[in-house]
């Protein structure tokens, strides 16, 4: 156990950068018969060590594509990373060979999938599946990895006696715990959780989230949490990124976003949530739907739905406006105040 | 030390043990297995079991009804039908197993290549196989057997070629469905290599329908073998084969019905046994149906 931690420190030892992950100008597109789907457009994102960043957005905003892009798991064809850099621990992942990339997946960066019902191999015991990732990265012998898998099971609150059981013998919440155990087994520096609780009951959601947050802190791991649930974000994230139509339209700390949100879309998101304190007569949903990703509008992608739309929103390139070190938006509303 | 423990561990978690356990709970499949084992035993030890050599003719005792000396009676040449049925199991099982093995190897490789590479490779292979598929298997078998000539080896080839497209389709479909599962992506996300994903995750999950198809395929191959032999394109007399025995018996079906009943019953038993075994395996191999 200790030796794993040591080697990890050595590997990243000389890099003094406090960011574990930096994404620069990432562009990901899918080629389909209908045209080119612009799934991720020029996003910039950095994740600090030990920090949890929430990526929030509607379905189709490019959250999952971004996550898969980081691990280079976009299936090609039809998907392709067109441009950008993904600097993880000082190395650009996009320049690594396929086998170097495999060494990173599961070991340094791991992923928790949305649906635990289908994320486990139905004909392998859960224990074998946890042991597999440990074995794959060649750290321990077969027997040791089995013991380690026992340990991981206990860590996520499952008795190690259930090592030899199959996924179908587990409930949804238990399966997600197994998935989390697999993701944490090699003590990765970064976990990408793609809507880890969407498929679970509300009561189980809280349990799983609490456990994830605790384990993440214990192991000092960074996490990207993809979700469309702002409540979850408020609970466990330090930073928030709001995505819309493949772009980051607002980003900041949880306080920045929850207390000082500026972008009309972010405000719209909050207005479409029920609030116990305020006596709202009716929720105010954002009118319209996300633009067709094969045919994005000129200028601001949100302009067609924006209540504060100005004529130049549909013409001009939208600048990024910083309010503080952490808080920035992409919106022309605040551009003229500079 | 750890190696020994590992062996213990693998023995303990061996899912095959559980599969066998589940299989043995299915009574019909157990009966099928028993019948198949009897047939295999008969085929292997035919010279020891059979009371007479399969080609020994005794014209003075031709066309006898079943009796103490000749359990299944004798045929028009005075040969013991019981002995011939036992020797017939050799040919039928051999043809069934080898024809299916050939078809599944060629078809499986073609189907798997199609599914993995997709695109134009998939189109080329599958359209070609569709052409083969369009010709009925028996007709294709007849054409091949007629071209190559009669004989055991040619019979196997004739039967397997007609079955290649269906195996290719089953394997392709099965690999395609498994490939799309999230756990395949998940295993990619933990850094598994393509080969590992194929052998550890895709093939075991794709295996169930293939095994079932193969078991049922042996039954079909035995039938095809009987059909071709019945038509005179398969095994040549005096080598006993259930189909060719039926073919001879056809001329005597009114006077000596037992001549066709026994070889026919052998075919039926073998096909029945393989079918219920196929069903049993399908149910046993799926851990979701456990308990």
ipTM of the complex: 0.78
Residue B25 has pLDDT above 70, yes or no: yes
Give yes or no for residue B7 having a pLDDT over 50: no
Residues 6+ apart with CB under 8 A from B51: B71, B80, B82, B83
Residue A230 has pLDDT above 90, yes or no: no
Give pLDDT, residue A331: 85
Q: CA dihedral in degrees (B268, B272, B274, B280; nearest 10)? A: 180
Q: What is the pLDDT of residues A128-155, one digit of tens each?
A: 999 999 988 877 888 888 999 998 898 8
The whole-chain average pLDDT of chain A stands at 84
Q: Could you report the per-residue pLDDT of B8-23, keeping only the tens digit for each?
A: 444 444 566 777 888 8
Q: Answer yes or no: is B57 within a domain.
A: no
Distances (CA, A) of A214 to A151, A156, B255: 16, 10, 86
Q: B200 to chain A: which residues are within 8 Å by CB?
A: 132
Between these two residues, A82 and A17, which has the higher pLDDT value? A82
Report pLDDT digits (tens) over A58-89. Answer: 888 888 899 999 999 887 778 888 888 898 88
pLDDT at position A229 is: 84
What pLDDT sits at residue A17?
Answer: 60
- Measured distance CA(A336)–CA(A275) in Å, rounded: 33
Instruction: Tell me what pLDDT residue B102 has.
Output: 92
The answer to whether residue B66 sits within a structural domain is: no
> In chain B, how many domains are there?
1
Beta-bridge mates of residue A224? A53, A192
Structure token pair of residue B163 = 């079955």
Written as six digits, the tokens of A164 are 């030899």
Q: How far away is chain B from the Cα of A252, in angstroms, using its nearest Cα?
A: 28
Are A168 and B196 a contacting pair at CB < 8 A? Answer: no
State the average pLDDT over residues B265-287.
85
Q: How many residues does chain B have?
A: 291
Segments of chain A assigned to CATH 3.40.50.300: 13-108+186-337
The C-alpha atoms of residue B125 and residue B111 are separated, in whole angstroms, by: 8
Read off the pLDDT of residues A254-301 as tens digits, 9 standing for 90 and up.
888 888 888 888 888 888 777 667 666 667 778 888 888 888 888 888
CATH of the domain at B147: 1.10.3720.10
- Average pLDDT of chain B is 82
Give domain status of residue B11, yes or no: no
Q: How much is the average pLDDT of B77-99?
A: 86
Among the listed ranges A166-180, B40-54, B160-174, which one has the minimum average pLDDT value? B40-54
Tokens, residue B208: 């169930």
The whole-number pLDDT of residue B148 equals: 87
Q: How confident is the model at residue B3 (pLDDT cuts 50, 70, 90)?
A: very low
Give mean pLDDT, residues A243-248: 89
On whether the CB atoms of residues B111 and B172 are closer than 8 A, the answer is: yes
Cα radius of gyration (chain A): 21
Interface test with B, best of A123, A168, A179 (most B CBs within 10 A): A123
Percentages helix, strand, coil for chain B (3-state, rounded to 5) are 80, 0, 20
Q: How confident is the model at residue A173 (pLDDT cuts 50, 70, 90)?
A: confident
Residue A50: is its pLDDT beyond 80?
yes
CB contact under 8 A, A118 and B183: yes
What chain B residue is nearest to A162 in terms of C-alpha separation? B13
The whole model's pTM is what? 0.72
CA A114 from centre of chain: 11
Measured between alpha carbons, how far is A127 from A34 in angstroms, rounded to an integer? 44
How many CB pairs below 8 Å do chains A and B form together? Answer: 88
Test mutation, A124, A130, A150, chain B, max B CBs within 10 A: A124
Which residues of chain A make contact with B183, given a CB cutoff of 8 A? 118-122
A241 pLDDT band, cuts 50/70/90, is very high
What tokens were used for B159? 């039967």
CATH number of A13-108+186-337: 3.40.50.300
Q: What chain B residue is nearest to A166 in terms of C-alpha separation?
A: B287
* CA separation for the pair A209, A216 (Å, rounded): 10
Do β-strands A109-112 and A52-56 pair in parallel, antiparallel, or remain unpaired?
A: unpaired
Phi, psi at B268, each rounded to 5° = -60, -45
Q: Which residue has the tokens 């420190």?
A: A9
DSSP SS3 for A55? strand
With b for 16 or more beta-carbon neighbours within 10 A and e for fewer, the B207-241 pattern comes to: bbebebbbbbbbbbbbbbbbbbbbbebbbeeebbb
Q: Higher confidence at residue A5 or residue A171?
A: A171
- What is the pLDDT, as a whole number, of residue B6? 46
Yes or no, beta carbons of B186 and A120 under 8 Å apart = yes
- With a cut of 70, say whether residue A38 has pLDDT above it: yes
How far apart are the C-alpha atoms of B280 and B272, rounded to whole Å? 12
- pLDDT of residue A1 exceeding 80, the answer is no
pLDDT of residue A267: 86
Residue B233 three-state SS: coil
Quick check: A105 and B191 CB within 8 A? yes
For residue A225, what pLDDT is reported?
92
For A183, which residue in chain B has the nearest alpha carbon? B190
pLDDT at residue number A292: 84
Residues of B in contact with A102 (CB under 8 A): 191-193
Whether residue A105 and residue B183 make contact (CB cut-off 8 A), yes or no, is no
Residue B45 lies in a domain: yes
Domain range for residue B36? Answer: 18-50+73-289
């Amino acid at each position: 156990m200790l030796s794993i931690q040591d080697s990890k420190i050595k590997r990243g030892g000389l890099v003094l950068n406090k960011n574990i992950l930096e994404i620069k100008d990432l562009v990901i597109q899918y080629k389909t018969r209908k045209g080119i789907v612009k799934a991720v457009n020029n996003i910039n994102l950095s994740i600090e060590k030990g920090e949890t960043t929430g990526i929030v957005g509607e379905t189709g905003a490019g959250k999952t594509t971004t996550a898969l892009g980081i691990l280079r798991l976009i299936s090609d064809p039809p998907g392709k990373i067109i441009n950008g850099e993904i600097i993880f621990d000082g190395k650009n992942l996009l320049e690594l060979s396929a086998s170097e990339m495999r060494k990173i997946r599961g070991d340094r960066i791991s992923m928790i999938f949305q649906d635990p019902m289908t994320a486990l191999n139905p004909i392998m015991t859960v224990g074998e599946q946890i042991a597999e990732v440990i074995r794959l990265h060649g750290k321990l012998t077969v027997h040791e990895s089995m013991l380690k898998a026992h340990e991981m099971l206990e860590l996520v609150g499952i008795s190690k006696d259930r090592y030899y059981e199959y996924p179908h013998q587990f409930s949804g919440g238990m399966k997600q715990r197994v998935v989390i155990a697999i993701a944490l087994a090699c003590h990765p520096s970064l976990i990408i959780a793609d809507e880890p609780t969407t498929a679970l009951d509300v009561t189980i959601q809280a349990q799983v989230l609490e456990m994830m947050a605790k384990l993440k802190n214990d192991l000092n791991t960074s996490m990207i949490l993809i979700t469309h649930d702002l409540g979850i974000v408020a609970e466990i994230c330090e930073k928030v990124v709001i995505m819309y139509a493949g772009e980051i339209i607002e980003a900041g700390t949880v306080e920045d976003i929850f207390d000082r949100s500026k972008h009309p879309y972010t405000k719209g998101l909050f207005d479409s949530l029920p609030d116990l304190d305020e006596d709202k007569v009716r929720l105010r949903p954002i009118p319209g739907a996300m633009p067709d990703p094969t045919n994005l509008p000129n200028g601001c992608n949100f302009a067609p739905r924006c209540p504060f739309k100005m004529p130049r929103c549909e013409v001009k390139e939208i600048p990024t406006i910083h309010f503080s070190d952490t808080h920035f938006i992409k919106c022309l509303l605040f551009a003229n105040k500079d | 030390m750890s190696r020994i423990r590992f062996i213990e561990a693998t023995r303990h978690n061996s899912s095959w043990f559980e599969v066998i356990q589940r299989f043995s709970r299915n009574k019909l499949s157990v009966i099928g297995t028993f019948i198949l084992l009897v047939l295999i035993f008969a085929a292997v030890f035919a010279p020891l079991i059979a009371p007479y050599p399969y080609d020994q003719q005794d014209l003075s005792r031709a066309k006898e009804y079943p009796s103490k000396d000749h359990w299944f009676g004798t045929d028009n040449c005075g040969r013991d039908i019981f002995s011939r049925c036992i020797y017939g199991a050799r040919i039928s099982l051999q043809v069934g197993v080898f024809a299916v093995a050939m078809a599944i190897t060629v078809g499986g490789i073609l189907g798997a290549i199609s599914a993995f590479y997709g695109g134009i490779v998939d189109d080329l292979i599958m359209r070609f196989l569709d052409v083969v598929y369009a010709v009925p298997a028996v007709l294709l078998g007849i054409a091949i057997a007629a071209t190559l000539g009669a004989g055991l080896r040619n019979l196997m080839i004739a039967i397997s070629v007609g079955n290649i497209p269906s195996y290719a389709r089953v394997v392709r479909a099965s690999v395609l469905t498994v490939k799309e599962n999230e756990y395949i992506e998940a295993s990619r996300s933990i850094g598994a290599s393509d080969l590992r994903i194929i052998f550890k995750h895709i093939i075991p999950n794709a295996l169930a329908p293939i095994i079932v198809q193969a078991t049922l395929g042996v039954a079909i191959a035995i039938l095809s073998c009987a059909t071709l032999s019945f038509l005179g394109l398969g095994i040549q007399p005096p080598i006993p084969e259930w189909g060719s025995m039926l073919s001879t018996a056809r001329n005597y079906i009114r006077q000596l019905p037992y001549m066709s009943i026994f070889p026919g019953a052998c075919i039926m038993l073998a096909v029945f046994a393989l079918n219920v075994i196929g069903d049993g395996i399908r149910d046993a191999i799926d851990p979701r149906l456990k308990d």
